[in-house]
């Protein structure tokens, strides 16, 4: 009954490589330059017992993630029948495409619980394509902030607000006026506990707040937003015009970055997740990779299994 976490996808939206990108980290996949290990889009599976998993964020790559991880594949038909999954529940941390689009892959009349905050539930309700999830199979469960719940027996989760922004597809005409660090039900982190061990999963965070720092202080394990190393890295790389901040993500580097924010938090094991394909830390020989490792961080990869 010990908490286990399995990285299904270590990359941010787009994955590594991104399908249309010739940037330094992606070009090697198209035969130009050295080829890195690929990474699928943002998702973490957690479990306290064999054959029963909770998936945090349903990435557009969830089918490939299931193909790659025997733990998530249908169990023995003699015991579980012809249609089966060990995925008992899905929990969403925001309404972004990289975290919700995989729900459409899970539409094949399979029973599971879908846990979200009321605000994220509204985003799904406003998109009729998600009605493809038959309500007689998929139970939509709404849960407020700071309220512990047990998606499967023995595994307690709690959602808490992290600064973030509305999904890109809902920004509408707001453009650069959109608030990128709203604290509420639309972007959340997750505390995970098996009663003895705990871990935190925060794949999206626009800035460190005193409340978040207090929550994370002394934790055994934290998976944290590693979207960009430099706030202006997409601009520097010439592949986009947005900063990390504009996308609702704090950078790793800089005075407001996660390396600085965690420096005195005494988190025992710190693992970056949700890395954008532009992030230089994907390269094991980069100066940026050396810098995060010197600060005690690990860079997640698909298939990494961790126990706190
Ligand atoms: C993000 O994390 O900023 C979003 O997933 C971006 C996107 O929607 O592609
Ligand atoms: Mn994302």
The answer to whether residues 114 and 141 touch, using CB atoms and an 8 Å cutoff, is yes
E strands in the chain: 4-9, 43-49, 52-56, 87-91, 112-116, 138-142, 149-152, 155-161, 188-193, 198-202, 221-225, 269-273, 297-299, 305-306
pLDDT mean over 81-91:
98
For the CA of 99, the closest atom of ligand 1 is: 5
| Mean pLDDT across the chain | 97
pLDDT for res 176:
86
pLDDT band at 173 (very low <50, low <70, confident <90, very high): confident
pLDDT for res 262:
98
Ligand 1 centre and the CA of 83: distance in Å? 32
pLDDT band at 204 (very low <50, low <70, confident <90, very high): very high
pLDDT for residue 171 is more than 90? yes
pLDDT for res 175:
84
Residues 295-306 pLDDT 10s: 999 999 999 999
pLDDT mean over 58-62:
98
Note residues around ion ligand 2 (Cβ under 5 angstroms).
Answer: 12-13, 96, 98
Ligand 1 centre and the CA of 103: distance in Å? 16
Within 6 A (CB) of ligand 1 lie 12-13, 96-98, 168, 204, 247-248
For the CA of 227, the closest atom of ligand 1 is: 2
pLDDT for res 59:
98
pLDDT for res 79:
97
Nearest CA residue ID for atom 7, ligand 1: 13
For the CA of 169, the closest atom of ligand 1 is: 8
Residues 141-168 pLDDT 10s: 999 999 999 999 999 999 999 999 999 9
For the CA of 165, the closest atom of ligand 1 is: 3
pLDDT for res 1:
77
pLDDT for residue 229 is more than 90? yes
Nearest CA residue ID for atom 9, ligand 1: 13
The answer to whether residues 18 and 234 touch, using CB atoms and an 8 Å cutoff, is no
| pLDDT over 90, % of the chain | 98
The answer to whether residues 113 and 89 touch, using CB atoms and an 8 Å cutoff, is yes
Ligand 2 centre and the CA of 242: distance in Å? 14
Contacts of 44 (CB under 8 A, 6+ apart): 5, 6, 7, 8, 55, 56, 57, 201, 203, 223, 273
pLDDT mean over 260-284:
98
State if pTM tops 0.85.
Answer: yes
Ligand 1 centre and the CA of 168: distance in Å? 7
Mutate which of 10, 61, 96 for ligand 1 pocket (most atoms within 8 A of beta carbon): 96
For the CA of 167, the closest atom of ligand 1 is: 8
Nearest partner of 228 among 199, 259, 197, judged by Cα: 259
pLDDT for res 235:
97
pLDDT for res 168:
96
Nearest CA residue ID for atom 3, ligand 1: 247
pLDDT for residue 174 is more than 90? no
pLDDT mean over 111-129:
98
CA 297 to chain centre: 17
């Amino acid at each position: 009954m010990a908490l286990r976490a399995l990285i299904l996808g270590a990359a941010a939206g787009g994955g590594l490589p991104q399908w249309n990108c010739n940037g330094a980290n992606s070009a090697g996949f198209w035969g130009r330059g050295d080829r890195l290990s690929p990474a699928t889009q943002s998702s973490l599976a957690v479990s306290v017992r064999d054959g029963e998993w909770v998936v945090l964020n349903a990435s557009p790559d969830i089918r490939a993630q299931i193909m790659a991880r025997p733990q998530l594949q249908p169990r023995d038909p003699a015991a579980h029948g012809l249609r089966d999954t060990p995925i008992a529940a899905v929990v969403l941390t925001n309404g972004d495409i990289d975290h919700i689009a995989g729900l459409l892959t899970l539409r094949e009349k399979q029973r599971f619980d879908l846990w979200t905050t009321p605000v994220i539930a509204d985003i799904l309700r406003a998109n009729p394509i998600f009605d493809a999830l038959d309500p007689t199979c998929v139970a939509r469960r709404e849960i407020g902030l700071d309220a512990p719940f047990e998606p499967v027996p023995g595994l307690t989760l709690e959602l808490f607000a992290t600064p973030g922004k509305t999904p890109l597809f809902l920004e509408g005409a707001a453009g650069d006026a959109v608030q990128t660090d709203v604290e509420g039900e639309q972007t959340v982190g997750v505390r995970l506990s098996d009663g003895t061990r705990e871990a935190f999963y925060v794949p999206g965070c626009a800035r460190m707040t005193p409340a978040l720092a207090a929550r994370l202080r002394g934790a055994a394990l934290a998976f944290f937003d590693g979207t960009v190393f430099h706030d202006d890295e997409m601009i520097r790389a010439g592949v986009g015009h947005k900063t990390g901040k504009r996308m609702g993500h704090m950078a790793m580097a800089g005075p407001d970055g996660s390396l600085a924010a965690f420096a005195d938090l005494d988190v025992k094991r710190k693992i970056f997740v949700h890395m954008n394909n532009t992030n230089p830390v994907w390269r094991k020989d980069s100066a940026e990779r050396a810098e995060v490792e010197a600060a005690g961080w690990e860079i997640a990869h698909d298939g990494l299994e961790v126990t706190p």
